[in-house]
Amino acid sequence: MKYLLALGLVLGLLFPSLAAGLMSHEEEARLGRQVFQMLRKEAQFVEDPEVVGYVAEVGRRLIAHIGPHYFPFKFYVIKDESLNAFAVPGGYIFVNTGLLEEIDREDELAGVLAHELAHVQARHLAKRIEKLTRLNLASAAVTIVGLLLGRGEMGQAIAVTSGALAATKALSYSRADEEEADRLGFQYLTAAGYDPRGFIEVFNKIVRHRWLLSENVPSYLLTHPGTAERITYLESMINYYHPKVTYHPDPFRLRRVQVRVKVFTHDAGSLVVRYRAEIRKSPEDPFLHYGLALALAKLRRFEEAAQEMAYVIEKWPDKDDFRLDLAEIYFQSGRYEKALPILEWYVRRHPYRLGAGYLLARCYQETKRYKEAQALYEKLLNKMADNAEFHYHYARLLAALGQGGQAHYQFALHFQLKGESKVALYHLRQALRLLPEGDPLRAKVAQKLKAARPKPKG
């Protein structure tokens, strides 16, 4: 709900006159960028390329079957235990870690993503926003700002005002919206070869959580109404069309991602205790050893972590991803000479895996093979443009190569994504000062500086 309220604030500030009609695609894209920037400041994004890359791969498989679209879809993972996913104008799709941990099959994730893609394609939020502009947002504004500033329980208490509730109701999808999104999402899912029953299974999980956690209704039920009716509707479509399931994802990919999410979002010390206890009961379960390896690495107990990962590789020698994880442990421990051959081998076999290419670039950088590192960073730049840490390490590399202007520009992108606008502006000014005349990057830097200037009042 916090994110939808934030959307109301942005709308009120940027698009006060949209009641005259549906916003243009340009306005929708601009609104999406503003919402994304606010979320960057208020939410904790998961930066792990393996986790985000997996979600994006599922999303891209669906996008191949949605036809023409106005926006370049982008996928993000937010550290939040609630079972939720949502889309905002401009093609930004967000999935919470709570949802990733709860699902059992990739088909379930695909169902949620297909539904969110359908909302963007049908421009449902843009249409709801048209209705919002006819509401009085004055009483909701203070509440929204309080939530965005992170005032905890006080902010939550203030949020329960008539204005805030009215704004939330206006932005929530109607049942007609949901039916259209279910129908379009069903088309995307079946065209991609997924089992559409996966989305029904997600709904059933959310409903179970609703009864178990009656005082904390999952966000998906607050913003996506009509759950029972929609389950029936989806079942009727499945019975009528009898879609053929032609794509059978590797369950290891999802399970591996889920373990990574668990380790990255929970206390590592507690997880080590828990995994060791579970291993005593099931000593040959490789995924328990995998989770233990990641938790130990998080605690910087790298020798033990490498031993546990070696056990996983021994049990599943044909699963290349676990070798990538071993290389990551070696990298984190500073044993670059052991990480490098594994990473080079892995990237040759899996050239499209962003996380592996990024880690190899980092490894080249730390071993002072700067030109090889730069070639990989440039190859990955567009695909990892929203990863703050990528820009930070790329900036370090450029600085080592004596390319000060470009280094400051990458630092600016890093701090911009972190929501530290003043630091970002400093680096933009330094970039403009150091970039030589005629460098095409100067125009981009100047444009960003111009956009950052305060607008004159009146």
CATH number of the domain to which 405 belongs: 1.25.40
Q: What does the H/E/C string look like for 293-362? A: HHHHHHCCCHHHHHHHHHHHHHHCCCCCHHHHHHHHHHHHCCCHHHHHHHHHHHHHHCCCCHHHHHHHHH
* Residue 183: inside a domain: yes
pLDDT at 270: 98
pLDDT at 173: 66
> How many angstroms separate the most distant Cα atoms in the chain?
70
Cα separation, 384 vs 66, in Å, equals 23
Last residue of a domain, one of 192, 224, 241: 241
Last residue of a domain, one of 207, 241, 275: 241
pLDDT at 214: 38
* Helix, strand, or coil (residue 48): coil
pLDDT at 150: 37
pLDDT at 162: 43
Give the pLDDT confidence of 12-66 residue by residue, as tens digits.
444 454 444 567 888 778 777 877 877 787 788 999 999 999 999 999 999 999 9
Cα separation, 208 vs 198, in Å, equals 16
- Judge contact between 331 and 355, C-beta under 8 A: no
List residues bridging with 87 in a β-sheet: 93
* Residue 312: inside a domain: no
Query: Which domain, by its residues, includes 418?
Result: 387-458
* Residue 324: inside a domain: no
* Residue 360: inside a domain: no
pLDDT at 206: 79
Cα separation, 197 vs 194, in Å, equals 9
User: Residues 6 or more apart from 289 whose CB is under 8 A from it?
Assistant: 275, 279, 308, 309, 311, 312, 315
Cα separation, 343 vs 432, in Å, equals 36
∠ CA 346-109-203 to the nearest 5 degrees? 160
- Judge contact between 297 and 272, C-beta under 8 A: no
* Residue 366: inside a domain: no
Cα separation, 15 vs 28, in Å, equals 10
pLDDT at 205: 86
Residue corresponding to tokens 């359908």: 118
Report CA dihedral (263, 267, 269, 273) to the nearest 10 degrees: -70
* Residue 53: inside a domain: yes
Number of domains in the chain: 2
Residues of the chain with pLDDT under 50: 1-15, 17-20, 134-165, 211-218, 221-222, 458
* Residue 349: inside a domain: no
- Judge contact between 189 and 26, C-beta under 8 A: no
- Judge contact between 309 and 325, C-beta under 8 A: yes
* Residue 54: inside a domain: yes
pLDDT at 124: 77
